[in-house]
Amino acid sequence: MALGVVVSLAVVGAVVLEAVSPLAVGLIPFVAIPALWAALGISRTAYAITSQRIAIRTGVLGVSVTTVGLERVQNTAVSQHPLGTLIGYGTVTIETASGTELTFRNVDAPNAVHERIDRRRDRRASSDVPGSREDWLAVREEVRGWRRALERRG
């Protein structure tokens, strides 16, 4: 089976070399290597949105991680080209309090990503008070009990 594939590739290679000028064959690495490098860069990029922060991890040979806390996010924006709108991808730009921008490039469903960031940011902003609603209702009832006890004494 493998021998058949190798022979087929050799035949196709010979036909291509006969049909294409040596100059064109020599230019293939100059086109293929940058394209391969770009594809590797895209495949090695990861985006994360947690309950605390947003992170972007990039790199092929080395790794770079950029993070920002959700409390630092001031604005988010979505941009899509016509083709991206048709097939559902786009770019989400995140502006931070320090003036820097994080960019989620070519993500699927960019509007959903945008909404997720906004929801997490809003949830984080509203959860600055510790404890749940039930905890605070219990505290209120306890304080009211103290008040009633003090009013009976007085």
| CA dist., res. 149 & res. 143, Å (int) | 10
Q: Phi and psi of 77, rounded to 5°?
A: -140, 150
- Residues in the chain predicted with pLDDT less than 50, given as ranges, are none
Question: What pLDDT, on the 0 to 100 scale, is given for residue 39?
Answer: 74
Output the pLDDT for position 22.
67
CATH value of 47-154 in 1.10.3470, 2.170.140, 3.30.1490, 2.30.29: 2.30.29
- pLDDT of amino acid 123: 77
CB 73 within 8 A of CB 121: yes
CA separation for the pair 117, 111 (Å, rounded): 10
DSSP label at residue 62: S
Q: How, if at all, do strands 101-108 and 89-96 pair?
A: antiparallel
pLDDT reported for residue 24: 65
